[in-house]
Amino acid sequence: MIMLQRRYRILLILTLLTLFTSCGVKHNPVPNVHIDYDVEGGIALEPIPDSGEDDDIAQPPTYRDTIFDILEQNCLLCHGNGSRFGNWKKYRAVAKKSEIIYQRVVVQKNMPPGGALSPLELEQFEAWYQADSPY
Q: Which is nearer to ligand HEC, 43 or 77 (CB)?
A: 77
Instruction: Compute the distance between CA of residue 123 and CA of residue 106 in angstroms, rounded to an integer.
Output: 8
Q: Degrees (nearest 5) of the Cα angle 58, 62, 68?
A: 150
- Find out whether 112 and 92 touch, Cβ atoms under 8 Å: no
Distance of CA 12 to the CA centre of its chain: 10
75-94 mask for ligand HEC (x: CB under 6 A)? x-xxx-----xx-x------
- Binders of ligand HEC among residues 109 to 128 (CB under 6 A) are 111-113
38-77 mask for ligand HEC (x: CB under 6 A)? ---------------------------------x--xx-x
104 touches ligand HEC (CB under 6 A): yes
